[in-house]
Amino acid sequence: MQGFQIWLLALVMTVTGLPDSYYKARQAFIDEELAMRVGAKQILNIKEQKVNTFLMNLKNQTIQQSIWTTTPYPPAISFFKSKPWIDNSTIYKIIKMMPKGGVLHIHNTAMTSIDWVIKTFTYLPDVYTRVENGTYPTRLYTYSSQHPGSDWTLVSDLRARAQDPKQFDESLIYEMSIWSEDPFLAYPTVNDVWKKFRNYFTSLGGLLKTSEHYRMYFEQALKEFYEDGVQYIEIKTTSTSEEFLIQHQNFVDNFKSKYADFIGVKLIIGGRRSATNQRDIVNKTLELMKKYPNLIKGFDLLSQEDVNHWTVEFADDLLKDNQSRLPYFFHAGETDWTQWVDFNLVDSVLMNASRIGHGYGVYHHPKVLEAVLRKHIAVELNPISNQVLGLVNDLRNHPGAYLFAVGAPVVISSDDPASWLAAPLSHDFYMAFMALGAVHDDLRLLKQLAINSITYSTMTDEERAEAMTKWQRKWEEFIDAVIRQFQLK
Amino acid sequence: MQGFQIWLLALVMTVTGLPDSYYKARQAFIDEELAMRVGAKQILNIKEQKVNTFLMNLKNQTIQQSIWTTTPYPPAISFFKSKPWIDNSTIYKIIKMMPKGGVLHIHNTAMTSIDWVIKTFTYLPDVYTRVENGTYPTRLYTYSSQHPGSDWTLVSDLRARAQDPKQFDESLIYEMSIWSEDPFLAYPTVNDVWKKFRNYFTSLGGLLKTSEHYRMYFEQALKEFYEDGVQYIEIKTTSTSEEFLIQHQNFVDNFKSKYADFIGVKLIIGGRRSATNQRDIVNKTLELMKKYPNLIKGFDLLSQEDVNHWTVEFADDLLKDNQSRLPYFFHAGETDWTQWVDFNLVDSVLMNASRIGHGYGVYHHPKVLEAVLRKHIAVELNPISNQVLGLVNDLRNHPGAYLFAVGAPVVISSDDPASWLAAPLSHDFYMAFMALGAVHDDLRLLKQLAINSITYSTMTDEERAEAMTKWQRKWEEFIDAVIRQFQLK
């Protein structure tokens, strides 16, 4: 708040001749609003204040440039256009260094960078590929010791024939992602971009054939998330294979033996909204939760909301075992429609959901909002996902900005970052800071968001306390590192 | 609500096996939210219900098409792309027929269609033109009995030389407007589009040289607004010339002698935010208000907010004469920035503004919102203006949607419709219905918005009562006309 107060004082001092009373009333009014905001209750120590001043100067410079010139404000344009600009900024570098706590809304097959996927799996022997036509062509991959058919070609052959093998790999990377130079042209509607988005999973699926491939993929995911300042992950997965789920614990244990300050991974099983019922998967989840209470933490409903079944249509299956207290984390309100599929938000509240996935439409529902605030139902915000999947263009219009203003329980997550070539979490934190956050929202917001990700996790109180300690230690190291690296006085 | 209830009933009936209690609780929850919405208190008579059913079927068809196909939803894309589609729709035709009450936020030199401007003024004798270079070239016009200089050409000469005079006129029309085939490319930032927008006023200014030109322009404005279903207008003007202001009363009286159901015109004087102070114009407005209390109704602050002075910087001038009760209608919060120029919203509340112009950022300010609701400060929403001037892309993300959800006092207006080739009010009402309004918002919303425009006007109680009678009569005619035209049973 210090930066903001100095700035307001300067303003007041330039306007003279009026009795103080108006300015005092105005400041009191603004202060009351500021006190409501996410992060307002955080108090920064001297070191943090140093970092904050530095960070807020950078933020202010970026904003001033956008206000006074015709330089686009990075969060105001597509991530596909702003990314190079963001990656070069000092703000992003600091956010990247920052321990951001946990990611609570992530899908297991969109975690690891496509860059690593292509450079690892397509260099294995016997990888064949072909392109399937469609609105958006899909590149298929398969492993085969024999030639799988005349329309398939060895990736290694294609690469050998390419003029520039590096450029060839690049092209495979961009092609697998939903990246587009001109997303408005490429994806006129949400349904269009979801088509392309589904192709990503098809393409990747061809390369993740065996459990060994998945182990490599998942361990790399942990590494990339950890290096991006993520210490804890709650993964949404549609698999209920006990073997598949349990191996995650081994991967994580192995990872923790190398990185002691990594907190851990929990899994949330997700039914598909396209299914006719959720009976079996709900029962299976309950069974698994009883068996692995520290690993399996609840149930979600996945897939594109607009065109699939509503939560209420599964009410029978979801409410029957309510007494068993299966925690719910339904995707709800990931839509631009109001009073349609967004009624899923009402069901989340009435079915006592622990958190709301996305909750993009939540601010159109005053009673849902009231419940979110009263019952501390955390909203899992995924700003870049919502932008690239066509819900909003300028991220300052993201409804999370409203939730920040009223001090709602929110966490920032990244949904499927690999599929749009985003960092595990840093780009979304950048957007939270620069777009969902107001001009004067500062390090207290970022700190609160990191803390929230632990507070609103599915960890037990004991685990949470340990996690907070691990995060706090890294936070202090981060503050010291920024002071050192940028020689802050 | 009937359509909505039928739909929900159908849904409930398809989901069987669960105790009713969940569905009852769900419906009660939804009903409580529905009861809060703008228009919820309107009750439709049998005839209105017929029109409503017809209208809601059309709305639902448009929505279903967007949900299930890759046809863009018209309000989700730029007005410059959706306009032809909208104009062809039956919904738009009905909204055009509808008496929409008054326009409370309009600038006097962006009211009359450019089509009429070009086809009238550029056909007068001695009209010269030239193009001035700049980021966006500006076409200048001037009347001159002598050749005004070597870079000027007679418009009539250019037209004679053109292959197709009709197409030539078309090109002048589009060129004067901010219309663009690809607005994202043409206007990367808000500052860019404002540059082009200012060129419109420069261009038009050359053709509105004499008071006779202005009379023609203004009378045509009244005609176009009246034909678009607008019976009452509150105009924002920067002029304080007594002669200029008074002539409006003559124009209106003349117009009313021809159209008895036209209600009238009031003027709000606007100071420019680029000025160093507002002292003289505030005093002048007070003086004019005393002299012409039925015509001059208050004071506004105009111009692009982001790059000009804030309301608080004029506090001295604006508060000094507070005892004189000069009603304020400041533009405030016409921005994507939060905690910057949008603090103008705080000043609007603290200076007891009668209405808020735009209020785009209002939902980021919980205390401003509380004041809006408690003190019935109407928010003048201009959806298309906010879209084409770069604040929001998909109009379902317009903050007005939030205001609709909480039943805030709102009016729909059109700001500068001529400059972006929009109808006087119908296109904005279309967006209010299809985008700011939720899927199930119906004729009650439209009726409430029309009524609000009279309720929140600056008319005296007596004038308001008369206005409501005039509007009510036209509303009944409209209902009958729709039933007749579409042969509704």
Instruction: Please list the pLDDT of chain B residue by residue as tens digits (489 residues).
Output: 344 544 554 454 444 455 688 999 999 999 999 999 999 999 999 999 999 999 999 999 999 999 999 999 999 999 999 999 999 999 999 999 999 999 999 999 999 999 999 999 999 999 999 999 999 999 999 999 999 999 999 999 999 999 999 999 999 999 999 999 999 999 999 999 999 999 999 999 999 999 999 999 999 999 999 999 999 999 999 999 999 999 999 999 999 999 999 999 999 999 999 999 999 999 999 999 999 999 999 999 999 999 999 999 999 999 986 656 799 999 999 999 999 999 999 999 999 999 999 999 999 999 999 999 999 999 999 999 999 999 999 999 999 999 999 999 999 999 999 999 999 999 999 999 999 999 999 999 999 999 999 999 999 999 999 999 999 999 999 999 999 999 999
Q: How far is B329 from chain A (nearest CA, A)?
A: 18
Contacts of A141 (CB under 8 A, 6+ apart): A121, A122, A127, A128, A129, A155, A203, A206, A207
Residue A6, pLDDT score: 47
Per CB-CB distance under 8 Å, the chain A contacts of B11 are 312-313
Contact A315 B192 (CB under 8 A): no
Per-residue confidence band for A2, with pLDDT thresholds at 50, 70 and 90: very low
- A10 pLDDT above the threshold of 70: no
Give the predicted TM-score (pTM) of the model: 0.95
Backbone angles phi, psi at B132, to 5 degrees: -95, 135
Tally the C-alpha atoms within 13 A of residue A452's C-alpha that lie toward its C-beta: 27
Q: What is the sign of the dihedral through the CA atoms of A466, A469, A473 and A474?
A: positive
Contact status, residue A309 vs residue A275, Cβ threshold 8 Å: yes
The answer to whether B52 and B3 have CB atoms below 8 angstroms apart is: yes
DSSP A328: B
Quote the CA–CA distance of A176 and A131 in Å, as a whole number.
11
CB contact under 8 A, A338 and B401: yes
Cα–Cα distance for residue pair B273/B356, rounded to 1 Å: 15
Q: What is the pLDDT of residues B178-199, one digit of tens each?
A: 999 999 999 999 999 999 999 9
Q: Among A184, A319, A347, A436, pick the best mutation site for testing chain B contact (most B Cβ within 10 A).
A: A184
Contact B67 A319 (CB under 8 A): no
Cα–Cα dist B111/B248, whole Å:
14
Res B441: pLDDT: 98
- Rounded-to-integer distance, Cα A439 and Cα B321, Å: 33
> Could you report the predicted ipTM of this complex, rounded to two decimals?
0.94
Q: B76 with B396: CB under 8 angstroms?
A: yes
A393 to B396: CB separation less than 8 angstroms, yes or no: no
Find the mean pLDDT for residues A267-292: 95
| Other CB atoms within 10 A of residue A467 CB | 21
Across the interface, whether the CB atoms of A26 and B312 are under 8 A apart is answered yes
Amino acid A323: pLDDT: 53
> Which positions ≥6 away from B336 have C-beta within 8 Å?
A76, A394, A396, A397, B190, B360, B361, B391, B392
Could you tell me whether strands A264-272 and A232-237 are parallel, antiparallel, or unpaired per DSSP bridges?
A: parallel
User: Is A392's CB within 8 Å of B393's CB?
Assistant: yes
Distance (Å) of CA B138 to CA A80, B141, B202, B205: 32, 10, 8, 12
Q: Do B336 and A72 touch (CB under 8 A)?
A: no
C-beta of residue B102 within 8 angstroms of C-beta of residue B454: yes
Q: How far apart are CA A32 and CA A406, in angstroms?
A: 11
- Cβ-Cβ contacts under 8 Å, A66 against chain B: 189
Which residues lie below 8 Å from residue A68, measured CB to CB, with a gap of 6+?
A: B307
Mutation to test the A interface, candidates B33, B71, B194, most A Cβ within 10 Å? B33
Residue type, A413: S
Given the residues B107, B331, B358, B440, select the one marked as catalytic: B358
How many angstroms away from the CA of A199 is the closest CA of chain B? 17
> Between chains, do B33 and A365 touch, taking CB under 8 Å as contact?
yes
Q: Do A22 and B319 touch (CB under 8 A)?
A: yes
Please name the residues in contact with A196: beta carbons below 8 A apart, sequence gap of 6 or more: A135, A136, A178, A186, A187
Interface probe with A: pick from B278, B335, B339, B343, most Cβ of A within 10 Å? B339
Task: Give domain B97-112+211-473's CATH architecture.
Answer: Alpha-Beta Barrel (3.20)
Query: How far are the Cα atoms of A218, A475, A476, B378, B420 from residue A469, in angstroms, in the given order?
Result: 26, 10, 11, 49, 57
List, in sequence order, every residue forming a beta bridge with A270; answer none if it has no partner: A300
Measure the CA–CA gap between A424 and A418, rounded to whole angstroms. 7
CB contact (8 A) between residue B22 and residue A363: no
Which of A189, A347, A348 best tests the B interface by mutation, with the highest count of B CBs <10 A? A189
> Which residues lie closer than 8 Å to A400 by C-beta, 6 or more apart?
A379, A381, A383, A410, A432, A436
Inter-residue contact B305 to B335 (CB < 8 Å): yes
Strand, helix or coil for residue A149: coil
Alpha carbon separation from A156 to A221, A334, B17 (Å, rounded): 25, 40, 56
Mutate to test the interface with A, among B67, B340, B395 (most CBs of A within 10 A): B67
Nearest chain B residue (CA) to A343? B30
Find chain A residues with C-beta within 8 A of B313's C-beta: 11, 14-15
Q: Cβ of A69 and B316 within 8 Å? A: no
Q: Are A404 and A375 in contact (CB under 8 A)?
A: no
Where b means 16+ CB within 10 Å and e means fewer, B30-43 reads beebbeebbbbeee
Nearest to A304 by CA among A240, A241, A247, A357: A357
Q: Which of the following is catalytic: B224, B234, B334, B380?
A: B334
Distance, in Å, from the CA atom of A270 to the CA atom of B190, rounded to the nearest integer, reads 41
**pLDDT band at A11, cuts 50/70/90?**
low
The alpha carbon of residue A454 and the mean position of all alpha carbons in its chain are separated, in whole angstroms, by 15
Q: Which residues of chain A neighbour B309 with C-beta distances below 8 Å?
A: none
Give the minimum alpha-carbon distance from A370 to chain B in angstroms, rounded to a whole number: 11
Distance from CA of B306 to the nearest CA of A (A): 7
Dihedral sign for Cα atoms in the order B22, B27, B30, B31: negative
The residue in chain A having the minimum alpha-carbon distance to the alpha carbon of residue B320 is A18
Among positive and negative, which fits the CA dihedral B185, B189, B190, B196? negative
- Mean pLDDT (whole number) for A77-81: 97
Residue of A nearest to B25 (CA): A350
Distance separating alpha carbons of residues B96 and A155, to the nearest angstrom: 59
Phi, psi at A392, each rounded to 5°: -155, 145
Asked if the Cβ–Cβ distance from A315 to B22 is below 8 Å, we say yes
Across the interface, of B188, B347, B366, the residue whose CB is closest to A33 is B366
Whole-angstrom distance, CA of residue A83 vs CA of residue A431: 11
Distance, CA of A199 to CA of A340 (rounded, Å): 27
Q: Residue A487: exposed, middle, or buried by beta-carbon count in 10 A (0-12, 13-18, 19+)? A: exposed
Nearest to A350 among B29, B316, B339 (CB): B29
Report how far residue B360's alpha carbon sits from residue A107's, in angstroms, rounded to the nearest whole number: 35
Is A254 in contact with A286 (CB distance < 8 Å)?
Answer: no
- Give the pLDDT score at A1: 35
Which residues does A67 contact at the CB level (< 8 Å), separation at least 6? B306, B307, B337, B340
Q: Do B337 and A439 touch (CB under 8 A)?
A: yes
pLDDT of residue B1: 35
User: What does the domain layout of chain A look like in residue ranges?
Assistant: 1-35, 97-112+211-473, 123-200
- What pLDDT is stored for residue A20 in this prediction? 83
Per the structure block, which two tokens stand in for B124?
Answer: 């007068």
Number of residues that this document lists for chain B: 489
Instruction: Report chain B residues whose CB lies below 8 A from the CB of A392.
Output: 393-394, 397
pLDDT per residue over A169-193, tens digit each? Answer: 999 999 999 999 999 999 999 999 9
CA distance B222 to chain A (A): 35
Residues of A belonging to the active site = 334, 358
Chain A contact set for B68 (CB, 8 A): 307
Assign B225 to helix, strand or coil.
Answer: helix
Asked if residue A207 lies in contact with residue A172, where contact means CB atoms within 8 angstroms, the answer is: no
3-state secondary structure at position B200: helix
Q: How far is A341 from chain B (nearest CA, A)?
A: 10
CA distance A202 to chain B (A): 21
Picking from B22, B29, B365, the nearest residue to A33 by CB comes out as: B365
